[in-house]
């Protein structure tokens, strides 16, 4: 990796059961809204191991046969930051949902109705891409002056 660049890695795993997906109704801190399970990759675990762990910790479910769907990344050239989120889909799981998750209440939501729920822009932007053929790569360049998202590039493969 390039020297002087600050890398951080996260994973997200969309769990699908027919026409429904498992989302967390997150109502704490600055990242409110409905989100798929996910979180930080702990060194030295793999990205897939991190996605499986995060789903288990946040929902109680054990997922398997993860399908890689794409990369979502924030880059900040002024600060040399690159935050990469590896996105997966799983249609295979077992276990019982947690009653109280620290990240938010796990709820099954119809895929077609999810678009009407409150979500962060980053989740809403990639949500439909989980259910399309192929993979995606989304790069968001952070605008330091405005302290908000700047240029967004979306590539489908």
The reported pLDDT for the residue numbered 2 is 65
H/E stretch holding 12: strand 6-17
pLDDT, residue 1, reads 59
Say how many domains are in the chain. Answer: 1
Is 136 part of any domain? yes
10 domain-assigned: yes
* Residue 22, pLDDT score: 98
Residue 78 lies in a domain: yes
- 58 in a structural domain: yes
- Is 117 inside any structural domain? yes
- Write b or e for each residue in 42-78: b if 16 or more Cβ atoms lie within 10 A of its Cβ, otherwise e: eeeeebbebbbbbbbebbebebeebeebbbbbbbbee
- Say what the pLDDT of residue 99 is: 86
How far apart are alpha carbons 107 and 128 in whole angstroms? Answer: 18
In this structure, is residue 89 part of a structural domain?
A: yes
Separation CA 73–CA 9 (nearest Å): 9
Residue 45 lies in a domain: yes
What are 31-46's pLDDT values in tens digits?
A: 779 999 999 999 999 9
Residue 1 lies in a domain: no
Structure letter (DSSP) for residue 101:
-
The low-confidence residues of the chain, meaning pLDDT below 70, are 1-2
The domain of 68 spans 6-156
Q: Which CATH number characterizes residue 12's domain?
A: 3.90.79.10
């Amino acid at each position: 990796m390039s020297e002087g660049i600050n890398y951080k890695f996260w994973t997200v795993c969309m769990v699908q059961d027919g026409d429904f997906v498992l989302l967390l109704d997150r109502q704490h801190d600055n990242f409110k809204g409905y989100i798929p399970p996910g979180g930080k990759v702990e060194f030295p675990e793999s990205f897939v191991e991190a996605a499986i762990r995060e789903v288990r910790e946040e929902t109680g479910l054990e997922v398997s046969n993860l399908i890689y769907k794409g990369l979502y990344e924030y880059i900040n050239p002024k600060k040399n930051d690159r935050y990469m989120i590896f996105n997966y889909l799983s249609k295979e799981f077992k276990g019982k949902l947690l009653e109280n998750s620290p990240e938010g209440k796990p709820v099954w939501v119809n895929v077609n109705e999810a678009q009407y729920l409150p979500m962060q822009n980053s989740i809403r932007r990639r949500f439909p891409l989980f259910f399309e053929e192929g993979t995606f790569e989304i790069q968001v360049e952070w605008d330091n002056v405005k302290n908000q998202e700047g240029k967004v590039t979306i590539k489908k493969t």
